[in-house]
């Protein structure tokens, strides 16, 4: 059989091309080709069917006789030894990508030779007919276990050599080699090197196709917080060797930038893997069952490419970060726990020991700095800011993580460019609110505040308390966190306020002003979507609201709060018992809440005293006196066209109306004037005030 092989140069004339990873591999294949050709020559000398063009398709009488004779000489009849092969393939000067991969993964010399022999047909078609001849089957053009042992000069009965092809041995366990056709006899099973391994050895680092939809770029490292000593300790541990860790984040999305920073400090690259969190968990991958090829999708939609993920990390020499975890994370965590690859799982749930047989290192990621001002400044760079923009104070109300802060900063730059001006506080606040996309709208009505302090007409005392409430919301992390004035016991850093007063005295309007001052959206809880006649359902609905508000920068408003925050009563029947359970749940949940909650009530006496003790501020909204009523009339009329000389003083003196009723009276007067096509007159105002009196069932003097 002819074994001639072209020796034409692979490059073209001119300057020598830069060395490529493939060049070293092809040099190894040249040496392997000599070995294969030698084996073919030895066999063909003694094989009477060597020149038969139909060899390998059927057995002739001569072929049968030759097989019997070969059996009589024993399995080592070729007289090959392993040392000449090793010397030919891997000299002292060899420094190729295959050897580099073998060193990094701890492969022995025999495993490396097996991998090279199986790799040869993937790189040069000239090996295919030679392998077909040596396999005694022209259709079997890949290496088989028996062929590999022959080329390595090893007896096919050597148990140590045969064990290298087991599923749990390095070549198969690391995903570098697949032993196929398990139904065949052991020696005739074919070997395949996955396409991804071949591509890596050729210098191509494009990820496996089955991973493409689930790999994401790892967020940039979070800016260093001088108080964060845990990050340095984790980085030192990562630098000392692989580990498996579970990192619990305070808010979704805050953990990955912190982990990214620790990995960067340790000098490690990482792959961010996002599993399918909606699919039911499959069983752990079986190493004996080959994973799908890289050219098609797995037939099972629930398949998670865990083996391919670990192999990708090994090929690149990097870590794996998994975020978020599926609902049942146990199979994933057990499958991805590896001794040779750093794997960090990130999620907001507390670690459950039932997830793993061997517990990982469990850490709590520190709470990110409020507002993420460092990340904002890093993203803004040298961008010109408005002279009156105090970035730290503007961002003090927001609990943005590093990733959210970076995205918000970029959005603010786009908003400023749209306005054709420099970046100011309005751009910063709008961009920050956009990052607080919330599911609260399922249970609450969203209000985007469009009012300010100038829209409030209140006595000095409640107005001062409202300013104090806004200040508490901005400074809570400094006072309760940095100054360690949190009461402990699992209590959160929330701000709780109660607005008490008669209807129309400005409670809801004041809540909107506070939200506007903080640059946050206001969510008014709809009690119809919360209170449920079935036992336990009200608590579940409230928990959904609080859980969503905990991770959202917003102000939560319970209007007419006495409906759910009412006093507990003596238990006389099952209804009283369950009503008290609702109040007890609310007491516990409010203590652990980290957001801003405002309650309004017309009947302060109906609020349970236990709630009152947990409130940061109780602000009473008094019924306006004549002077305040006149200010309210004038404030409501400031944008309304009025007749010359109009005076709202008679209405303010004669009609004892709250601010909401005064606004309604002005609206009635404005409609009357608009219908006539004229300006508002005093008569219109008086008629509007009389109607509000009648609506309230009060006597109107004509």
**In this model, does residue 263 exceed pLDDT 90?**
yes
Tell me which H or E stretch contains 469: helix 460-476
Tell me which H or E stretch contains 347: strand 343-347
pLDDT at 635: 95
Summarize the confidence of residues 134-153 as an average pLDDT: 88
Q: How far is CA 330 from the centre of its chain?
A: 18
Report the distance separating Cα 661 and Cα 659, nearest Å.
5
**In this model, does residue 347 exceed pLDDT 90?**
yes
**In this model, does residue 694 exceed pLDDT 50?**
yes
**pLDDT tens digits, one per residue of 160-180:** 999 999 999 999 999 999 999
**pLDDT tens digits, one per residue of 361-395:** 999 998 776 656 777 888 888 888 888 888 888 88
- What's the Cα-to-Cα distance from 97 to each of 18, 187, 207, 508, rounded to whole Å? 15, 28, 17, 69
Strand positions, DSSP E, 175-241: 178-179, 191-192, 215-216
251: pLDDT confidence band, cut at 50, 70 and 90?
A: confident
**Between vectors from CA 440 to CA 439 and to CA 441, what angle results, nearest 5°?**
90
pLDDT at 129: 83
Closest CA to 117 of 61, 176, 60: 176
**In this model, does residue 399 exceed pLDDT 50?**
yes
Alpha-helical (H) ranges within 615-681 are: 626-636, 649-654, 659-676
DSSP string across 486-499: ---TT----EEEEE
pLDDT at 651: 93
Phi, psi of 446 (to 5 degrees): -85, 135
Name beta bridge partners: 320.
271, 343
Report the distance separating Cα 658 and Cα 623, nearest Å.
6
pLDDT at 641: 95
pLDDT at 37: 81
Q: Are 134 and 140 in contact (CB under 8 A)?
A: no
pLDDT at 28: 81
22: pLDDT confidence band, cut at 50, 70 and 90?
A: confident
**In this model, does residue 295 exceed pLDDT 50?**
no
**pLDDT tens digits, one per residue of 181-207:** 999 999 999 999 999 999 999 988 888
Closest CA to 672 of 641, 702, 649: 641
**pLDDT tens digits, one per residue of 439-480:** 788 778 999 999 999 999 999 999 999 999 999 999 988 888
More confident residue, 357 or 465: 465
Question: What rounded mean pLDDT belongs to the chain?
Answer: 83
Alpha-helical (H) ranges within 564-648 are: 574-591, 609-614, 626-636
Q: Are 314 and 174 in contact (CB under 8 A)?
A: yes
Tokens for 412, please give them: 């603010």
Question: What residue ranges define each of the domains in the chain, with the CATH number in brackets?
Answer: 21-201 (no CATH), 209-288+304-364 (3.40.50), 370-435 (1.10.8.60), 453-621 (3.40.50.300), 626-695 (1.10.8.60)
Residue 695, class by beta-carbon neighbours within 10 Å (0-12 exposed, 13-18 middle, 19+ buried)?
A: exposed
Name beta bridge partners: 272.
216, 321
Q: Are 314 and 340 in contact (CB under 8 A)?
A: yes
Name beta bridge partners: 20.
none
ω before 259 within 30° of 0 (cis)? no
Measured distance between the N- and C-terminal CA atoms of the chain, rounded to whole angstroms? 124
Residues 6+ apart with CB under 8 A from 333: 246, 325, 345, 355, 356, 360
Tokens for 556, please give them: 């939560």
Report the distance separating Cα 124 and Cα 271, nearest Å.
32
pLDDT at 565: 79
**In this model, does residue 143 exceed pLDDT 80?**
yes
Summarize the confidence of residues 214-243 as an average pLDDT: 88
Report percent pLDDT > 90 for the chain: 45
pLDDT at 407: 86
**In this model, does residue 10 exceed pLDDT 60?**
no
pLDDT at 579: 62
Q: Are 177 and 192 in contact (CB under 8 A)?
A: yes
Q: Are 616 and 472 in contact (CB under 8 A)?
A: yes
610: pLDDT confidence band, cut at 50, 70 and 90?
A: confident
Q: Are 586 and 542 in contact (CB under 8 A)?
A: yes
Report the distance separating Cα 294 and Cα 311, nearest Å.
13
Q: Token pair 């797995």 is at which residue?
A: 298
pLDDT at 376: 86
Summarize the confidence of residues 209-217 as an average pLDDT: 88
Report the distance separating Cα 145 and Cα 131, nearest Å.
12
Report the distance separating Cα 225 and Cα 223, nearest Å.
6
Query: How many contiguous H segments (helices) and E segments (strands) does the chain have?
Result: 27, 14
**In this model, does residue 70 exceed pLDDT 60?**
no
- What's the Cα-to-Cα distance from 610 to each of 501, 538, 565, rounded to whole Å? 19, 20, 10
Phi, psi of 601 (to 5 degrees): -150, 150
**In this model, does residue 49 exceed pLDDT 70?**
no
pLDDT at 87: 42
pLDDT at 88: 47
576: pLDDT confidence band, cut at 50, 70 and 90?
A: low
**pTM (2 decimals)?**
0.75
**In this model, does residue 294 exceed pLDDT 50?**
no
Closest CA to 408 of 368, 446, 437: 437
Longest Cα separation, the chain: 131
């Amino acid at each position: 059989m002819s074994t001639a092989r072209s020796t034409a140069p692979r490059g073209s004339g001119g300057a020598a091309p830069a060395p490529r990873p493939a060049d070293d591999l092809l040099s190894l294949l040249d040496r392997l080709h000599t070995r294969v050709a030698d084996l073919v020559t030895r066999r063909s000398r003694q094989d009477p069917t060597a020149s038969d063009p139909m060899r390998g398709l059927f057995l002739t009488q001569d072929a049968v006789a030759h097989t019997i004779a070969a059996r009589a000489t024993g399995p080592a009849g070729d007289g090959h030894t392993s040392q000449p092969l090793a010397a030919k393939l891997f000299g002292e000067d060899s420094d190729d990508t295959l050897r580099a991969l073998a060193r990094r993964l701890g492969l022995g010399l025999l495993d490396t030779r097996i991998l090279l022999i199986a790799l040869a047909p993937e790189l040069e078609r000239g090996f295919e007919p030679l392998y077909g001849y040596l396999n005694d089957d022209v259709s079997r053009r890949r290496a088989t276990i028996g062929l590999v042992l022959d080329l390595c000069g090893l007896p096919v009965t050597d148990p140590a050599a045969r064990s290298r092809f087991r599923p749990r041995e390095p070549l198969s366990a690391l995903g570098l080699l697949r032993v196929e056709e398990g139904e065949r006899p052991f020696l005739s099973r074919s070997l395949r090197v996955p396409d991804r391994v071949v591509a890596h050895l050729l210098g191509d680092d494009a990820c496996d196709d089955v991973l493409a939809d689930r790999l994401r770029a790892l967020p940039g490292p979070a800016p260093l917080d001088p108080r964060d000593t845990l990050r340095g300790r984790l980085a030192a541990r990562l630098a000392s060797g692989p580990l498996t860790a579970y990192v619990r984040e305070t808010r979704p999305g805050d953990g990955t930038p912190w982990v990214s920073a620790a990995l960067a400090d340790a000098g490690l690259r990482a792959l961010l893997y996002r599993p399918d969190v909606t699919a039911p968990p499959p069983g752990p991958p079986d190493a004996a069952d080959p994973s799908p090829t890289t050219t098609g999708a797995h037939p099972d939609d629930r398949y998670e490419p865990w083996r391919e993920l670990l192999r990708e990390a090994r090929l690149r020499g990097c870590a794996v970060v998994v975020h978020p975890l599926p609902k049942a994370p146990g199979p994933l965590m057990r499958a991805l726990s590896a001794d040779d690859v750093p794997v960090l799982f990130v999620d907001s749930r507390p670690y459950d020991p039932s997830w793993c047989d061997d517990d990982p290192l469990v850490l709590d990621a520190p709470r990110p700095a409020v507002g993420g001002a460092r990340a904002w400044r890093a993203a803004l760079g040298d961008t010109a800011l408005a002279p009156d923009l105090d970035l730290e104070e503007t961002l003090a109300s927001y609990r943005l993580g590093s990733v959210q802060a970076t995205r918000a900063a970029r959005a603010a730059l786009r908003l400023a460019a749209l306005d054709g001006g420099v970046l100011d506080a309005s751009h910063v606040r709008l961009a920050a609110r956009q990052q607080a996309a919330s599911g609260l709208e399922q249970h609450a009505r969203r209000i985007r505040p469009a009012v300010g302090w100038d829209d409030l007409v209140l006595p000095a005392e409640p107005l001062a308390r409202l300013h104090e409430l806004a200040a508490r919301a901005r400074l809570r992390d400094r006072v309760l966190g940095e100054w360690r004035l949190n009461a402990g016991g699992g209590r959160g850093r929330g701000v709780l306020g109660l607005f008490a007063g008669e209807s129309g005295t400005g409670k809801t309007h004041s809540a909107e002003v506070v939200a506007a001052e903080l640059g946050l959206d206001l969510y008014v809880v709809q009690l119809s979507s919360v209170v449920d006649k079935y036992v336990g359902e009200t608590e579940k609905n409230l928990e959904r609201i609080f859980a969503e508000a905990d991770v959202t920068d917003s102000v939560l408003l319970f209007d007419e709060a006495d409906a759910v925050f009412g006093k507990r009563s003596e238990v006389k029947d099952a209804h009283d018992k369950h009503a008290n359970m609702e109040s007890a749940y609310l007491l516990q949940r409010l203590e652990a809440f980290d957001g801003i909650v405002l309650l309004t009530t017309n009947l302060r006496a109906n609020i349970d005293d236990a709630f009152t003790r947990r409130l940061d501020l109780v602000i009473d909204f008094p019924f306006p006196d004549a002077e305040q009523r006149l200010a309210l009339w004038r404030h409501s009329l400031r944008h309304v066209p009025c007749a010359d000389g109009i005076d709202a003083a008679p209405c303010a003196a004669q009609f004892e109306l709250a601010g909401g009723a005064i606004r309604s009276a002005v609206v009635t007067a404005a409609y009357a004037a608009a219908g006539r096509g004229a300006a508002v007159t005093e008569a219109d105002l008086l008629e509007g005030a009389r109607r509000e009196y009648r609506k309230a069932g009060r006597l109107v003097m004509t």
